[in-house]
Structure 1
Amino acid sequence: MVPPRILVVGAGFAGIECVRRLERSLAPGEADIALVTPFSYQLYLPLLPQVASGVLTPQSVAVSLRRSRRHRTRIVPGGAIGVDAKAKVCVVRKITDEVVNEPYDYLVLAAGSVTRTFDIPGLVDNARGMKTLAEAAYIRDHVISQLDLADASQDEAERASRLQFVVVGGGYAGTETAACLQRLTTNAVRQYPRLDPKLIKWHLIDIAPKLMPELGDRLGAVALDILKRRGIEVSLGVSVAKASPEEVTFTDGRVLPCRTLIWTAGVAASPLVATLDSETVRGRLAVTPEMSLPGRDRVFALGDAAAIPDLSKTDGAICPPTAQHAIRQGRALADNLIASLRNQPLRPYVHKDLGLVVDLGGRDAVSKPLGVELRGLPAQAVARGYHWSALRTNVAKTRVLTNWMLNAIAGDDFVRTGFQARKPATLRDFEYTDAYLSPDEIRAYTAGAASGG
């Protein structure tokens, strides 16, 4: 008897936690597990700002899938670009650009998210994201290159524009990115005697009225004060009206000479979601509390790709797209898959938020574990302790801890490593948002599988 095929799409927090649980809990031969992912690592996304600022090396936050799995899972090196739920086939573009069909009996959609953009003139061509490892490495090179180019320039206007930096998004990603990179440039400018430190300006803007509202008023005010004391100009209730290679126009009318625009204003579910032609909530697949997709036999979705009802609240809320929820959803969904295989009832996902941590670089941090408000070194200890413990392999833990210790002792370095291309890369170049198929294209690719060919 051929064992049922479980296909997991995505190697983020949700997908990897689901696979790990399945590997530990399923009996040998009970099911075949396959994982679709273009990269052979799980990206520890919350530490990307520290990669961008050079505190951590890129390899430190790329947790090897080969080390963290039990070798029962077949890894398909590519990205899912369409799903034919009727034929029970997922269309995958491998890293060689070959398009293949992956049939399944159970499908787990943990495809994650991409950077959310808006119809703002010049945005997608001139902004850089902070969603992938390549983007973090690219931004580090780009920021350091602006210091090098400003130092070499004889044109005061060019120099001023290269030393202005804008980060859009007052959530965790944007705030930590602005804080960590501002610290990098503050330390780096000491190596540039021709540059006036006062010319380096960092701007953090967000259309929301508060910075990281999840922190609450008191901790939010503390975080805002830390940023302002460092010289970061924070503008709330403001966004980008248009962007060009050499300036950014804000919605309040200000025009800022600037060659670095970092966009972290939220995320949107992977475009893979649209290929299923299913109901969505805020762009995410509408699923049951058990994380199954209504009307799609044995299809489940979780993480950033799914709108999972938050049963800890009573106002019809859905779970926020955070790593904390994704990890626990992965475990819960694995248990439900096993229950389905064994003809047992499924259980709804229920989890209360355990708090949050925000690392602002150096000794600055704010944290709220289990509702307890912390700031300064205690908050920093909690933030880094949480991130360190969440890393899935001892090798990754050792690399991150060593990097932190080296940075604390030796300080930052300011070497460009070659990611800075002559042609600036766009959001599409990093996140491949134009790679997905239309419904007709999906049917064409899966016709052979549906007919047994």
Structure 2
Amino acid sequence: MVKERARILVVGGGYVGMYTALRLQRRLKQELRRGDAEITVVTPDPYMTYQPFLPEAAAGAISPRHVVVPLRRVLGGCRVVAGEVKSVDHAHRTAVLATLATEEKGGTEHLAYDELVLAPGSVARTLPVPGLADHGIGFKTVEEAIGLRNHVIEQMDIASSTRDPAIRDAALTFVFVGGGYAGVEALGELEDMARYAARYYHNIRPEDMKWILVEASDRILPEVGEEMGRYTVTELRRRNIQVLLRTRLESCADRVAVLSDGQRFPTRTVVWTAGVKPHPLLAATDLPLDARGRVRCTAELTVQGTEHAWAAGDAAAVPDVTAAEPGKETAPNAQHAVRQAKVLGDNIVHALRGEPLETYAHRYVGSVASLGLHQGVAQVYGRRLKGYPAWFMHRAYHLSRVPTVNRKARVLAEWLLAGLFKREIVSLGSLEHPRAEFELAAGGKHPLDPDTDPKGSS
């Protein structure tokens, strides 16, 4: 039984935030009913995004609605607040929030708590590359994934309808920066989709398109091992995709990608997936951080030297007790985040009930990556797979991990239907400007008018 009423604040609604709250909700069911406990989840978006499915959502293999999990439905015993935590004063157990309501008034509100779970995740790690802020496209949210799909199809529409070879060449050149999971999987799925879509354009052939992967290191997909990384490079190049290793993007100003090896590519598409960094919120707390800006944690997922504070996932530096090398930390990936959340939820309950805490220990089992339909690479328990078996394992693994039976059934149904019917190649870019037609009819300027849109049409 909980010793006293506990107000638990969970910051973030991603893997760690959702699964921790779900665990607490199950373990503290009786306390929640009696009012002895209260769980508040603060997240900018009231849904959890299953990021491994973003490439397939971008390629149209999965509906965007099935890549996200509505938190209010899953966390029925919790209070879900759509907002952003701006700072945390843990010494006084207070967090400063900005919600839609407070932002309209230009203010914030304070939320008191007893136990803090810090899981805001990470944000894209960008560099001061000229033109990146104006022309770059991220790939971390479902909105970005669908926007990128629409953008790629729109570029094919532009190339098909113009007689200007310079515009056509720029529209059909797609540059992806970053050779990790996000970059390689997004490139593989979208190239596969565009190659299929080209058959419906009378004047575009797959070989007319240029797909370029830029990676600063000497290998891609380090998670699947060096051998599988080399295989992936070979496979991508076989598909006429340029893989440029030890190369950096120097500039993308004026819609020209300038690389460190001197190559220049006029392009209307630069996708930035060059890593992540800890959420800026962490710097606005009074909790101890490591050199990389993550919260220092113990193997029990408590914040080092701090009572009533917990963290896990991308935001936390968690010791890897299974590693042979002392001082090594767990990798910031979904495999660890989901398992850490389970231990974290249990440990909060243990702490509230005065019980001993559990140690988080999980040996990394391997990685899988998709390179497009029926193509993939994997290294699991030391075994290497490639091609169709790796692609099938990728789908089977992530289907087993996507939250809720509802989502599993819907994703599986979509995959089965995709095997019976042709791909959808419709661009719904107009969804990004739902009032465009009405504004035009009302006498205003179209939002995509170059005079009103400094970035120009996407």
Q: Same fold (TM over 0.5)?
A: yes
SS in structure 1 opposite 2:101?
A: coil
RMSD: 1.8
TM-score by length of 2: 0.89
Percent of paired sites with the same residue: 39
- Aligned residue type for 2:28: L
Give unmatched runs, 5+ long, in structure 1. Answer: 427-453
Q: Which of 71, 75, 78 is the matching residue for 2:80? A: 75
The answer to whether the 8 A contact 1:226-1:364 is kept is no
What residue identity is the alignment partner of 1:44?
Y
Kept in 2, the 8 Å contact 1:68–1:392? The answer is no
Preserved contact between residue 357 and residue 366 of structure 1 (Cα < 8 Å): yes
TM-score (norm 1): 0.90
Are the aligned partners of 2:374 and 2:392 in contact in 1 as well (CA < 8 Å)? no
**Aligned to 1:237, which of 246, 256, 262?**
246
Partners of 2:109 and 2:4 in 1: CA distance:
21
Deviates more, 1:6-15 or 1:416-425: 416-425
- Residue type of the alignment partner of 1:75: V
Give the secondary-structure state (helix, strand or coil) at the position aligned to 1:291: coil
Q: Which amino acid aligns with 1:305?
A: A
Rounded to whole Å, the distance in 2 between the matches of 1:402 and 1:179 is: 23
Matches within 5 A, 1:164-175: 164-175=173-184
Indicate if the aligned counterparts of 2:46 and 2:81 stay in contact, CA closer than 8 A: no
Quick check: 1:105 aligned with 2:114?
yes
Shift of residue 76, structure 1, vs aligned partner: 1.0
- Bigger mean CA offset, 193-202 vs 416-425: 416-425
Matches within 5 A, 1:27-426: 27-29=29-31, 30-69=36-75, 71-98=76-103, 99-277=108-286, 278-313=288-323, 314-417=325-428, 418-419=430-431, 422=448, 423=453
Q: Is the 8 A contact 1:281 1:307 kept in 2?
A: no
In the TM superposition, what is the alpha-carbon distance from 1:104 to its structure 2 partner?
0.6
Q: Is the 1:63–1:391 Cα contact (8 Å) retained in structure 2?
A: no
Contact 2:224 2:368 in 1 (8 A): no
The Cα of 1:345 is off from its aligned counterpart by 2.5
Amino acid at match of 2:79: R
Number of equivalences: 425
Q: Which runs of 4+ in 1 moved over 4 A?
A: 423-426
For residues 20-52 of structure 1, the C-alpha deviation after alignment (integer angstroms, 9 at most, x for no partner) is 111111252242111111222211011101111
Deviates more, 1:208-217 or 1:103-112: 208-217
The question of whether the paired residues in 2 share the 8 Å contact of 1:60 and 1:400 is answered with yes
On the 8 A contact 1:339/1:346 being kept in 2, the answer is yes
Give the aligned residue type for 1:23: Q
Q: CA deviation at 1:407?
A: 2.2
Matches of 2:424 and 2:151, distance apart in 1: 14
Q: Which is worse superposed, 122-131 or 139-148?
A: 122-131
Q: Secondary structure at the match of 1:5?
A: strand
Supply the distance in 2 between the matched residues of 1:419 and 1:212 (Cα, whole angstroms). Answer: 33
Moved more, 199-208 or 362-371: 362-371
Distance across 1 between alignment mates of 2:58 and 2:65: 12
Give, in angstroms, the shift of residue 297 of structure 1: 3.2
For 1:309 and 1:425, the matched residues in 2 are separated by 44
Structure 2: unaligned runs, 5 residues or longer: 434-447
Structure 1 position 101, deviation (Å): 1.7
Question: Could you tell me whether the CA contact under 8 Å between 2:159 and 2:171 is conserved in 1?
Answer: yes
- Give the AA of the match of 1:409: L
Q: Name the CA distance, whole Å, in 1 between partners of 2:280 and 2:148.
A: 24
Structure 2 distance, partners of 1:366, 1:66, is 36
Moved more, 316-325 or 286-295: 286-295
TM-fit CA distance, 1:140: 0.8
Q: 1:75 to 1:240 in 2, by over 3 A?
A: same
CA drift of 1:419 comes to 4.1
How far the C-alpha of 1:206 sits from its partner, in A, is 0.6
1:287-320 CA distance string (max 9 Å, x none): 2222222344311111111111112212422111
